[in-house]
Structure 1
Amino acid sequence: MMSLYVQRRSLLHRLPAAVKLVALAFLALAVLALPGLVPLVIAALLAFGLYLHAGLQGRAGLAALKPLALSIALIALFTALVAGPREGAETLFRLLSLTLLATAVTASTPLHDFMAVIERAARPLERAGLVRAADIGLAVGLALRFLPEVVNRYRAIAEAHQARGLKLRATTLLGPLIISTLREADAIAAAIDARGIRGHEKEKRET
């Protein structure tokens, strides 16, 4: 499976994962609270600078944004039709800023660091008997690794449609995408069970 991580030496890469996640949360709240179009445009430009600093440049940088670009554009267009052009533009730059910030953090943080931070954060819930911290970390890690794979599968199915001269329709795209994704999920689950990951975590806690 693919990873969103971009190996590079930068200040953003050297920061601890916990610091980046906390900073991302505060920055997201700040972007959501920004009033007016001009501050949001400035925020989007700053976020884009951070995006480039994380190593997301050229075709790779555009490819990382492509999966969410259509969704952002549709939401902004709907907002513009319902609430007016200015509100639509504000929504566009607000969502763009959040996407760029989140992608920059993801691209500059190895997957195992993400999993470790999530697992530590879930420890109090584990002590209360509510969840298993290792399972939460594993679930987050799999989600981050699996999303790019789903996007690639969608592209492959769409390209196969175009090669056959077929129109791109949700009814013909979603079926193969869901089936191939479920098959991959079953294969990953079997690999996890074969390696005894859950069993190892249980033995660690018992010892």
Structure 2
Amino acid sequence: MKTLYVEGDTFLHRLSPRVKLVALAFSSLLLFLIDSPLFLAAAAVCGGWIYASLGLGWRQSLLRLRPILLTIAIVAVFTLVLNSPGQALTVLLRLTALALLAAAVTATTSTGDFIDEITLAARPLERIGLVRAADLGLSIGLVVRFVPEVLTRYQAIRDAHHARGLKPRPLTLAVPLIILTLRNADEIAAAIDARGIRAQK
């Protein structure tokens, strides 16, 4: 099963997951508070350098980042059409920087570490009855864990269309993808309940 985590021994791999997540949260806040194109461009370059330091290679990096970069490009185009070129540039640089930093963190932090840190961070909210920390940590961990699976299924469905000589269309791609994803979600939920994970205190 594919995962966003990449085995390695880089500085980011050795860095504490808590430090990485706190730094990512702080960086995200800073990126949305500052509108300077120069600052955002520098942040994007910095994010690219950090991601490149993982040593994945350009081809592998592009394959992993292509979906999110394509989404960012679409958002930037819509912003350009609906607003101004300056705002579109700001959106493009801000989201690119954020995506690169987040990708670097997810590539160097295992799902287990994600779950542990999110659960720990949610403990204060659990004490006042807002959430169950373990459930929140598990939910976020599962999202991080299964994003690559959704992308893999999408690619498989598209390849199946090509193999049958059919032109991929949004509807014919989305429907089976949603069905397969929901089926997998049901299987995961059943497995969690069978093990009594959500019933644990």
Cα offset, 1:16, TM superposition: 1.3
Partner of 1:120: 120
Structure 1 residues 89 and 131 mapped into 2: Cα distance closer, same or farther (>3 Å)?
closer
The answer as to whether partners of 1:5 and 1:110 remain within 8 angstroms in 2 is yes
Aligned equivalents of 2:198, 2:91: Cα separation in 1:
42
Q: Deviations over 1:91-110 (max 9, x none)?
A: 21111101001110111111
Partner of 1:183: 183
Cα offset, 1:185, TM superposition: 1.0
Partner of 1:5: 5
Partner of 1:75: 75
Cα offset, 1:67, TM superposition: 1.5
Aligned equivalents of 1:42, 1:60: Cα separation in 2:
23
Partner of 1:58: 58
For structure 2, list consecutive stretches of 5 or more residues without a partner in the other structure.
Answer: none
CA RMSD of aligned residues (A): 1.7
Partner of 1:48: 48
Identity %: 53
Q: What TM-score, normalized to structure 2?
A: 0.92
Letter in 1 for 2:57: Q
Cα offset, 1:90, TM superposition: 2.4
Which aligned pairs between 1:140-155 and structure 2 lie closer than 5 A?
140-155=140-155
Equivalent pairs, count: 201
Partner of 2:170: 170
Structure 1 residues 81 and 187 mapped into 2: Cα distance closer, same or farther (>3 Å)?
same
The answer as to whether partners of 1:6 and 1:55 remain within 8 angstroms in 2 is no
Cα offset, 1:38, TM superposition: 2.8
Aligned equivalents of 1:36, 1:126: Cα separation in 2:
38
Letter in 1 for 2:18: A
Aligned equivalents of 2:31, 2:124: Cα separation in 1:
30
Q: Deviations over 1:130-158 (max 9, x none)?
A: 32211111111111111111111111111
Letter in 2 for 1:95: L
Cα offset, 1:188, TM superposition: 1.2
Letter in 2 for 1:135: D
The answer as to whether partners of 1:77 and 1:88 remain within 8 angstroms in 2 is yes
Aligned equivalents of 2:40, 2:158: Cα separation in 1:
34
Q: What TM-score, normalized to structure 1?
A: 0.89
Aligned equivalents of 1:27, 1:36: Cα separation in 2:
15
Which aligned pairs between 1:14-53 and structure 2 lie closer than 5 A?
14-53=14-53
Cα offset, 1:195, TM superposition: 2.6
Partner of 2:109: 109
Q: What SS does structure 1 have at the residue aligned with 2:109?
A: coil
Aligned equivalents of 2:182, 2:43: Cα separation in 1:
38
79-88 or 21-30: bigger deviation: 79-88
